[in-house]
Amino acid sequence: MSTSAGQTGTVLTVEDFSVDYLGETTVRAVRHVDLSLGRGEILGLAGESGCGKSTLAYGLTRLLKPPAVISSGRAVFHSREGYDIDLGALHGEDLRAFRWDKISMVFQGAMNSLNPVISIRAQLEDIFSTHRPELSRAERRQRCGDLLERVGVDRDRLRSYPHELSGGMRQRVMIAMAMALEPQVMIMDEPTTALDVVVQREILLEITRLRDELGFAVVFITHDLPLLLEISDRIAVMRAGEITELGSAAQVYSQPEHPYTEQLLASFPSLTGQRGDFIRAGLDERLLDLDPVRVADVDGGASR
Amino acid sequence: MSTLEVRGLVKNYHLKQGWRGRRLVAVNDVSFTLEPGRTVALVGQSGSGKSTVAKLLLQLERSSAGEILLDGSPVARRGRGLAQYRRTVQMVFQDPFASLNPYHSIAHHLARPLRLHGHGRTAAELEEGVHRLLERVRLTPADVVARRRPHELSGGQRQRVAIARALAPGPGILIADEPVSMLDVSIRLGVLNLLAELQREENLGVLYITHDLATARHFSDEILVMYRGEIVERGPSDQVILDPQHDYTKLLLQAAPNPEKRLATLRSDR
Amino acid sequence: MALSPKLAVGLTLCGGIALFGLLGPLFVGDPQRVDNIGLQPPGNGHLLGTTQTGQDVFAQLAYATRGSLLIGVVVGLLAVILAAGFGIIGAYIGGWVDEGFSLFSNVMLVLPGLPLMIVISSYVQNKGIWLVAGVLALTSWAGGARVLRAVTLSLRSRDYISASRVAGEKTWRILLVELLPNLVPLLAAMFVFAVIGAILGEAGLAFIGLGAGGSWTWGTMLFWAGNGLALRLGALWWFLPPGLLITVFGAGLAMINFSIDEIINPKLRDQTRRARRRWSASKRQIAATEEATR
């Protein structure tokens, strides 16, 4: 608790973080990632499938299961109250409590992980009775209702069962659950990918509004770079387990340094601008060269 | 050279709810025309009925009302007429992981339609046809790719196989149902670009079904916006995107990620 | 694909017994021949001893193995064909055909085999092995049909089936060439399961005296052993061999079935011992790396 970064405005420091998948050949899924997450900041983590962005999220929250192991580095949480916690030093019950309390997560398709036979109220109350046993029954009820209203779902919905809610509403309930204990960091892995654009927009607005209101920091992981450019303060671009570029949203958008960032940006045609007109301007073989047929596999493919 | 005209297409589903049935109108009074060399985008959210339109056009489902006319004559439901229709109207499915049979080789997927539509009988003819198709979608070396199973290719490559399969009968109309939404972002434009090139070479009429307004704008000549089974707005692409009239189109446009809008506000804040 | 130990053991056991049933009867004497050396323990010209009436147990066992396997295979094939016919075709065509087929399967599912057999045996005096096999097949396919129907319903809506229709393939060709190969592992597992069920079912029927008259199976051997008070007389050599063969053959088939399950469901495969053995090496690695990062 000496020189805590808690007061300096950093809530999570990640140093030299690597994750390996052990097996016959070890795969390095995350390689030497250094990151710092400011208090109340929205950090966008962009990358394509298989780039290691989800593995990083699971690694930070220590949800990895073997054969995935953290092979180097550490993640340190700087609490608002002024003490530091090394996430690697937590085990068992401490880790579980820490996860809801200080860092919480919303994953892609999380809405499908609600228990279908238990009402929304019971599932929300469960969090409080586990982590805040000192609360009275009435207080608990009150808080559950408040939570739902906070994410823009009517209080009456407490009585509903998951199947009675739309996908968007269920995802909001999941976000409400993640926020229940007022964590200081929320990690969101493709939280809106399965949803329609209009619903996605509503949820994003809700997340940014709640961030302003409650001051938690968000690590927002998605492949949708334009979306990140819109909501995040800073953006990290990941490729093959490494962070190739890290900068403010404006900087990444207007002056990308790494060619991969440029390539990613170019992959999204502009809605109102001219970028993307080339689609019908004639075949550009370079685009298809990005996805080459691996001929090294020939023998394996042919002999089967 | 073919024109596909859709007039007042309606599709109702009967849902069972206890003893009584309920009627769900999935597609209501949809009309449009696909002409050679032109792309029409059908834009809408999931559940808007746009995929049902594709199924109706491909005769995978029967419409409740309305007409589908190929070059002015109604579509046969079976037999020789249907085979002729299948030769002319082809489809690229959304999910390249599901649209190729995991059990069969790439060659099988391409050789079957070639054979069915009389583009080859002997093994040598079919092999040559398969290689030619693979080269057209730039999957080379073709003999290597032809031997592989779907799971040995990337998602983008599988989708190119699916495009090659759709081209095999030599169609005049191509229906592409969200052809790139399941692919990695960095290869999406490559696949669309290829589709546009093949369209130009074959003078295809294309129906591009998507929820992505940005690619719809750049890829197509005309945009139809679909909402709850009905087409609420239609017009030339740029006009629909840059000057939307219907409230729903406006809502969609507002919801679509648009970094330029935000960066403009960031700059003005400074 | 490498042969897993489970599959290897299963194939060896079943293969050995099948070979015995196939070739054994060619080398043994008449299992019916009565002699005056009753209840001889093994040895002395009778490899497995004799029954109460002096019949050679080994000869009986060889014929019984052939009989039981024949019933198993016939019933297994019939059950799979019936299940595939009603399950796959109904689900693929849909509509009233599906409703009718699944109603029929459900009715067959609740028809109990044993009472049906008792009823039939009270009408038919000379039950042949084919009748027994027929009844066993009729009462055992329905469960499989329901499973196949469910799987076919899910496969039918796959895009690759739609894509074949769009390509202009005929319905029967889609069923046989596009759909069926994806069901082969399931059908194989079903066949194995039906064989076990049939052999056990026949043994049960035969043991209570409702088996096929005049033919040898493991069940009829046990029935005669029971009749001849083999247990009370301590004639282990009489009832143990057929019992043991039923057990071993069942175990072997079960192992084959598990292996097929693992092929269908790769998640299960990861839990097999082979995977675990690879694992114990990497677990040490995990511990080491976790130690290092602490």
Nearest-Cα residue of chain A relative to residue B150: A301
Alpha-carbon separation of residue C123 from B227, B233, C75, C117 (angstroms): 67, 75, 22, 10
Q: What strands lie across the sheet with B39-43, from one edge to the other? A: B89-92, B173-177, B205-210, B39-43, B222-227, B230-236
A246 touches C: beta carbon within 8 Å: no
Whether A88 and C283 lie within 8 Å, measured CB to CB: no
Say which amino acid occupies C32: Q
Q: If you search the block for the tokens 């197509």, which residue do you land on?
A: B220
CA atoms of B163 and B199, how far apart (whole Å): 11
**A134: burial class by Cβ within 10 Å (0-12, 13-18, 19+)?**
exposed
Give pLDDT, residue A301: 38
Say which of C279, C283, C294 has its CB closest to residue A88: C294
B110 found inside a domain: no
DSSP string, B156-187: HHHHHHHHHHHHTT--SEEEEESTTTTS-HHH
Flag whether residue A72 sits within 8 Å of chain C, measured between CB atoms: yes
Distance CA A124, CA A126 (A): 5
Q: How far apart are the first and last CA of chain A?
A: 60
Axis-axis angle for helices A137-150, A120-131 (nearest 10): 120
Contact C159 B165 (CB under 8 A): no
Q: Is the pLDDT of residue A4 over 50?
A: no
Alpha carbons within 13 A on the beta-carbon side of C230: 27
Average pLDDT score over chain C: 79
pLDDT at A17 over 50: yes
Burial class from Cβ neighbours inside 10 Å (0-12, 13-18, 19+) for residue A80 reads middle
According to DSSP, the β-strands at B65-70 and B4-17 are antiparallel
Is residue B169 scored above 60 in pLDDT?
A: yes
- A97's torsion region: left (phi>0), alpha (psi -120 to 50) or beta? alpha
Pull the structure tokens for residue C112. 């109990």
Given this structure, which CATH class describes domain C5-293?
A: mainly alpha
Using pLDDT thresholds of 50, 70 and 90, give the confidence band for residue A26.
confident
Minimal Cα–Cα distance from C294 to chain A, Å?
7
User: Which pLDDT does position B194 carry in this prediction?
Assistant: 92
Domains present along chain A, CATH in parentheses = 10-102+184-303 (3.40.50.300), 111-182 (no CATH)
Domain count, chain B: 1
| Mutant choice from C161, C164, C166, C175 vs B, greatest count of B C-beta within 10 A | C166
Among chain C residues, CA nearest to B113 = C167
Q: Taking CA atoms, what residue in C is nearest to A87?
A: C294
Q: Which chain B residue lies closest to C163 (C-alpha atoms)?
A: B99
- pLDDT surpassing 70 at residue B176: yes
> Does residue A299 register a pLDDT over 50?
no
Please tell me the least confidently modeled range out of A122-126, A180-184, A231-235, C207-211: C207-211
Contact B147 A302 (CB under 8 A): yes
Choose the mutation target among B138, B157, B186, B240 for the interface with A, i.e. most A CBs under 10 Å.
Answer: B186
Task: Report pLDDT digits (tens) over A244-274.
Answer: 999 998 888 888 899 888 888 888 888 887 7
Question: Which chains have 3+ CB pairs within 8 A of A?
Answer: B, C
AA identity, residue A223: H
B-contacting chains (≥3 CB pairs under 8 Å)? A, C
Residues of B in contact with C159 (CB under 8 A): 93-95, 98-99
> Where residue A303 falls among pLDDT bands split at 50, 70, 90?
very low
Is the CB of residue A90 less than 8 Å away from at least one CB of chain C? no
Per-residue pLDDT averaged across B100-122, rounded?
Answer: 90
Query: Would you call C200 helix, strand, or coil by DSSP?
Result: helix
Contact A297 B152 (CB under 8 A): yes
> Tell me: the pLDDT tens digits for C224-267?
777 777 677 777 777 788 888 888 988 898 888 888 777 766 55
The two three-digit tokens of residue A13, written as one number: 């420091």
Burial of A38 (0-12, 13-18, 19+ CB in 10 A): middle
Q: Which amino acid is at A273?
A: G
In this prediction, residue B208 carries a pLDDT of 95
Q: Is A259 on the interface with C (CB under 8 A)?
A: no
Nearest to A123 by CA among A167, A160, A155, A98: A160
Calculate mean pLDDT across residues C21-49: 72
Say if B29 falls within a structural domain: yes
- Chain C residue with CA closest to A73: the answer is C293
CB contact under 8 A, B194 and A288: yes
Instruction: Give percent above pLDDT 90 in chain A.
Output: 8
Mean pLDDT, residues A293-300:
56
Q: How far is B87 from chain A (nearest CA, A)?
A: 25
Give contacts of C182 with chain B, Cβ < 8 Å.
101-103
When CB atoms are compared, the residue of A223, A250, A279 closest to B196 is: A279
* CATH code of residue B56: 3.40.50.300
Q: Counting one residue from B and one from C, how many pairs have CB atoms under 8 Å apart?
A: 54
CA proximity to A98, closest of A40, A220, A37, A184: A184
Task: Please check whether residue B191 lies inside any domain of the structure.
Answer: yes
> Does residue B32 belong to any structural domain of this protein?
yes
| Burial degree of C264 (CB within 10 A; 0-12, 13-18, 19+) | middle
- Rounded-to-integer distance, Cα C13 and Cα C248, Å: 7
What sign does the dihedral A149-A155-A159-A163 (CA atoms) show?
A: negative
> In this structure, are residues C85 and C144 in contact, taking their beta carbons and an 8 Å threshold?
no
Q: Which residues form the domain of B211?
A: 4-100+171-254
Within an 8 Å CB–CB cutoff, is residue B117 touching chain C?
yes
Answer yes or no: is pLDDT of C184 > 70.
yes
Structure tokens at B250: 């406006």
Q: Where are the extended beta strands (E) located within chain A? A: 10-21, 27-38, 42-46, 68-78, 84-86, 103-107, 185-189, 217-222, 234-239, 242-248
| One-letter identity of residue C184 | V
Please list every residue in chain C whose beta carbon sits closer than 8 Å to the beta carbon of residue A89. 294
Q: What is the pLDDT of residue C205?
A: 82
User: Which pLDDT band, with edges at 50, 70 and 90, does B269 fall under?
Assistant: low
The answer to whether residue A204 scores a pLDDT higher than 90 is no
Could you give the ipTM of this predicted complex?
0.86
The answer on pLDDT for C74 being more than 70 is yes
